[in-house]
Structures are given as C-alpha cells and as structure tokens.
Structure 1
Amino acid sequence: MKKTAIFTGTLIMSLLAGQTAFASSYTVQKGDTLWNISNQYHTTVETLMQMNGLTSDLIFPGQTLKVSEKEDTYVVKKGDTLSEIANQFHITVDSLLQMNPGISDPNFIKEGQIVYLVKQVSSSTQSTVPSSANGYYIVKEGDTLSGIAAKFQTTIRSLLALNPQIANPNLIRAGQSIKVAGQPVSVAEQNQAVSSSTAKNEQPQKVSYSDEKVSADPVQNNTKPTTLSLADKIIQIGEKYLGAKYLYGASPSRTDAFDCSSFTMRVFSEAGIALPRSSSAQAQVGTPISISQLQKGDLLFFDTDFNGTINHVGIYAGGGQMLNATTSKGVTYVSINMAYWQERFVKAVRVLN
C-alpha cells in the first residue's frame, strides 16, 4: 500500500506540474527519458526530479516538466563575470558557453549583454532524435547530409565514415537508413540495416553538404571528381578543420585551434585570398550584399554583444548553414536561421569574384 501511495502521489504531482506555466518547461515526447531531457537542458536527472516533485524517474508522453527555476535570459550588470552568473543560477561556465556560442571571450562580457540561461530546443530539433536506440536515421524528403549532421551534432565526415555505402555524398534518397552513432561499419553490415520495403521504388534525390552540388570525395568512392568552384574549395578547406578547438586570440599560423576570424583568415588564405586578422576588419573588405543574395563562400558578420561592434564572422556554406569557429564546439556548422544568430546578424560581404 505504501508503494502505491507514493506512486499515486508522484503521478498527481507530475500532473499538477504539467498544468503550471513555467518560464521554461518541456513537454515529454514518446521515447523520452529524464536522462536525455537533462542533457538537452544542461541539468541533471536529480535536479529535474526535485523541481517536479518526482520520487522516481517515471515520465509519460504529454507530461509537462519544469526544466528551469529561472528565466531564459539574464541581462549582464556592471561588474558581472561569467563565473558569477553561473554560480547565481547554479550552472557551470561551460554550460553558459555552450548556450551562448557568440561569447568570443569567456573572460569578457559587457553591461547590458543578454546571456542565455537555458538551451534553446525547438520542436524540430526534438523531433530529429532517433526513435530507436540502434543509432540509425531514416532519410526524409528534403534532407541533406549537412542537415542530418547538424541534427545529430556530428560532422559530414563522421557520417561518411559511419556509412561507407554512401558512394556519393551528393546523392542520398528518402527512406534510406543512415548510421548516425557508434563505430564505423562495413558496407555489408550497413546494407543489412536498410529495410527492403523502403529501398524499393525510391527515387534518389540530389543531396549535398549544403543543398548545393559539390564534387564527390574520391577517397570515399571511385567516381572521378568534378572541378570545384572557388566557393566549393573554400568550404572544402574549412571542413578540413571541423572539430578543431576554439582559442581566443589564436595565432593565424595555428591549425589545431582557432577563434572566429583566425579561422576565416586561414581558410581564405589557403584558397589564395588574403583577409585582415579581426572580424571587424574583415567586414570592411569585399562587396556588401543582402541576406537574400547569399551564396556559398560569402562572409557573415554578427554583433553578439549588442553593443554596435562586429565581433563574430562565419562562412556561408549554403542551405542556411554557416561554417565557423564557436566557443562551445570549435569549428562547426550552425544554422543561421536560429534565433540567436538572426538577432545578432549585422551584414554579409562577398569577397569572391
């Protein structure tokens, strides 16, 4: 009887929590666990249980969970430091940096700057979590390899290593099964994961790193590569450094660590184009263009501190994706359609002829 009473009490408290409007809440989806929700919101299972009055890790689809005791953002006050803000809201500096990729120097924040305290998780992001635990993803209409990589927080090269059956990275089809986690497998093993029902009568669709055609990687197959445009070459060079760590003020001669402008400077220099060292200086070269005119290889500039000064730069890779060096993940792809980047966008510049 005691166990039944505890369970009933927990269920009632959970339901009541789901009816309360919180500054930050999450609606449980089928297949969710407290562990994956805690990872999404940079917290712990124990903290989620405390905030929601749970005495077990039992949750159910449709239940609304409180995931934060605080507001979503914090406005920096005079004298604040990132570590003090982290302590105030019971999170870590690393978590703040992950939630605020525009903070170029963790030791330098400004009065009036907006700091995100909760990870922005959109419904589209939630829906891309694999429904099964086997580490495979079924390609949908309109998917691109770069888009799938972004969904699962990995890189295109990692996906190609996990999927040797992909002979041409520009060509995947709806219904195709792609391995998105685990260790690299053989073509024979990978083919076993593809359902015959989805493999039949499917028309292949053209898919590239960035929704635009690029040449096949000769290392992955025997297809003769086509001639790369200068813009494609820029992206290919940039992808060579995917995963390199972030280091504020990194020397332009370093290739193991970058800040945003040393990365763009390095990539363009390898393509024979000289750029100034800082993002604000790079914003003064080339031809300004509107966001609607963006092409692969254009430079995008941002004011992440909302103080009127450009302090971040990235390379447009097509398909709404930007290749850049961020404080949280180093050299990586991000979507410029995220609210964070849209709010901070200043200008775009074309430096390629």
Structure 2
Amino acid sequence: MNNRIRAKLVTTTLSAALLFSAVSASIPAAWNAQTASAAASTSLSAGQALIKASVSFRTAPSTSALRIKYLKKGEQVSVLSQPNSYWYQVQDSTGTTGYVSSQDQYITVGSLSPGGGNTTNPSNPGNSGGSGSVPSSSSVEKVIAAGMSYLGTPYEYGSDRNTTKTFDCSDFVRQSFIDGVGLKLPADSRGQGSYVKNKGNAVTDWRKLKRGDIMFFMSYKGTKASAYSGVNKSTAAISHDGIYLGDGKILHTYSKESGGVTISSIEGTHWEYRFLYGGSALN
C-alpha cells in the first residue's frame, strides 16, 4: 500500500472516530437532562407539587376569582384536591389555601391518592379531634371546593334555599354539602348543630377540629373575650355556623358589609370567643 493511500485511510478513520465520540458525548447529555427533569417530578411526595413558573393563586377555581397573590417558580405546595381538569386546590407554605391552574407549564404534581385528594390532612397535621370514623379526604375537599366556588356571593338573612344568588350562614353551609357530596342538611344553623351533635363527634375546643368540620357560634356580644366570660356556652343558642378550613380559618358568610361568602381568621377574634362546638357532618 503506497503512502498516499495509507494517509487517506488514517485520515478517514480519525474523522469517523471523532464524529462517533462527539455523538456519543451528546447522547448522555440529552438523556441526563431528560432524566433530571423526570427525577424532579418523581421526587415529589404524594400530594405535593412544584411551581414551574409564576402563576396566579386564586380564591376559587376561576380566572374571574380574586387573586390572592402569585406563586413563584420553585415554590412547593400541597395539593388538596382537583375540582375539575383545569384547576388544583393547593396550600402554600404559609398555610393559605387557594387554586392554581393545572396546566403543566405552571405546576408539576406528585402522585395523588385515588379520588383526587390527599390521604393525610396537610392543613391540620396530627390533629384528629372528635371521635368516630374519619370522613374521606376526597369528600371533605369536595365540600370545601363547592363552598369556595361561592366566595363573594352576597349575604342575605333568610335567603331563599332554592337559589344560590344569595346566602345566609346556614344556607351557605347546606348548599356546600349538597353541591359537594349530595348531603342535604337541615335548613337552619340550630338544626345543623343538632345534626352534628347527634353524631357524637362534637368538640368544644376549635383547635381540635378537622378540616371540613362545621363550626357553631353563639350571638355576637362584642370583640373582647371578656364579653363572653360569664356565658354558659353549654346552654347558649346557636346563631351562626361555617365550615372549618384548617389553619385557624373558617369559610362562611355573616353580613353584607363583609362582602358575602368569605374566609375569616378565628384565633384572637370574636369568632374564637363565640365558638360553642363543632364537628363533622360526614361521619
């Protein structure tokens, strides 16, 4: 073989080797990028999610609902339920509950338990309260999602139980359970209180309530704890109720001035001082 042919063969072999080396190097790089992305999603525990891009955090599963804030890229949240194919109900690191778009450009979700809800209670961990069986988290979240969809609905005392245009407190609670799980509670707060108490799981310490429990209150006497200190709460009449969300929050409606269906904090307010008892209507 002459020197010219030998040189040509060496050049061709070297070029092929360099090309193969470059291609081989690029394949692991691309594969590793895909693997890292998949690992990020599979590393999320059940019921957890990672915000992939800034997204609106809203009070109800609707683009017309009030925006609580924007969730930032990289935040981790707890997924509580999926009311429909477009929205997740989530809880952020501060304990605030709201709704975000379910589009995968905004959120990556870990595995959910059957029924779309968490098998644990992320908003009230380790706090069982009451007695009897624990209602399924999916039922609780369906009731809460139904109630949240009415945020801002106007208040009307003695509202018509056959419409959802306005609500008083017990009408709102009743409609949330009808929409969420098909349970038709008594029409007034005292009847609902008796319904819950008769189940034998009522508690008088609101901190022992579970998410989705109904809270019952006596009449308003002022904003200070001292205004309620001499009241015998075991015999006081119920004048108001609402749905406990966990984290010291109640979903309810009580006046036109408050804006209708709303979320209120309990601790250190007259809601804490007026509280009589609460419990689940589902078990």
TM-score by length of 1: 0.41
Pair 1:211 & 2:95 matched = yes
**CA distance in 2 between partners of 1:240 and 1:169 (Å):** 24
Structure 1: runs of 5 or more not aligned: 1-153, 172-205
**CA distance in 2 between partners of 1:214 and 1:158 (Å):** 10
Shift of 1:324: 0.1
**CA distance in 2 between partners of 1:280 and 1:349 (Å):** 14
Pair 1:288 & 2:224 matched = no
From 70, 73, 84, the counterpart of 1:163: 70
**CA distance in 2 between partners of 1:258 and 1:312 (Å):** 12
Conservation of the 8 A alpha-carbon contact between 1:170 and 1:216: no
2:253 aligned residue: 325
1:304 aligned residue: 219
Shift of 1:215: 8.5
1:262 aligned residue: 171
Structure 1 residues 303 and 213: alpha-carbon distance in aligned structure 2, compared to 1, 3 A threshold: closer
Structure 2 residue identity aligned to 1:311: S
Shift of 1:350: 1.4
1:132-191 residue CA offsets vs partner (Å, 9 max, x unmatched):
xxxxxxxxxxxxxxxxxxxxxx9465226x6375698836xxxxxxxxxxxxxxxxxxxx
Structure 1 residue identity aligned to 2:254: T
**CA distance in 1 between partners of 2:161 and 2:74 (Å):** 35
2:186 aligned residue: 276
Shift of 1:230: 1.5
**CA distance in 2 between partners of 1:312 and 1:234 (Å):** 18
Structure 1 residues 342 and 253: alpha-carbon distance in aligned structure 2, compared to 1, 3 A threshold: same
Pair 1:230 & 2:139 matched = yes
TM-score by length of 2: 0.50
Percent sequence identity over matched residues?
28
**CA distance in 2 between partners of 1:298 and 1:215 (Å):** 21
Summarize the alignment of residues 1-353 of structure 1 with structure 2, pairs less than 5 Å apart.
Answer: 155=59, 157-159=65-67, 163=70, 170=77, 207-208=91-92, 211=95, 217-218=101-102, 221=106, 223=108, 226=112, 227-228=116-117, 229-270=138-179, 271-286=181-196, 287-289=201-203, 290-305=205-220, 308-327=236-255, 328=257, 329-353=259-283
Structure 2: runs of 5 or more not aligned: 1-57, 79-89, 118-137, 222-230
Give the secondary structure class of the aligned counterpart of 2:176: helix
Structure 1 residue identity aligned to 2:144: I
Q: How many pairs are equivalent?
A: 165
1:55 aligned residue: none
2:35 aligned residue: none
Shift of 1:254: 1.9
Structure 1 residues 214 and 326: alpha-carbon distance in aligned structure 2, compared to 1, 3 A threshold: closer
Q: CA RMSD in A?
A: 3.3
1:171-230 residue CA offsets vs partner (Å, 9 max, x unmatched):
6xxxxxxxxxxxxxxxxxxxxxxxxxxxxxxxxxx9449838898652684646841221
- For CA contacts below 8 A with separation 6 or more, give which structure has more relative contact order: 2
Identify the range of structure 1 (265-274 vs 226-235) with the bigger mean alpha-carbon deviation.
226-235
**CA distance in 1 between partners of 2:168 and 2:187 (Å):** 10
Structure 2 residue identity aligned to 1:283: G
Structure 1 residues 318 and 250: alpha-carbon distance in aligned structure 2, compared to 1, 3 A threshold: same
**CA distance in 2 between partners of 1:169 and 1:252 (Å):** 40
**CA distance in 1 between partners of 2:175 and 2:151 (Å):** 13
**CA distance in 2 between partners of 1:266 and 1:215 (Å):** 20
Conservation of the 8 A alpha-carbon contact between 2:59 and 2:99: no
**CA distance in 2 between partners of 1:165 and 1:259 (Å):** 36
- Which of the two has higher C-alpha Rg? 2
Structure 1 residue identity aligned to 2:177: F
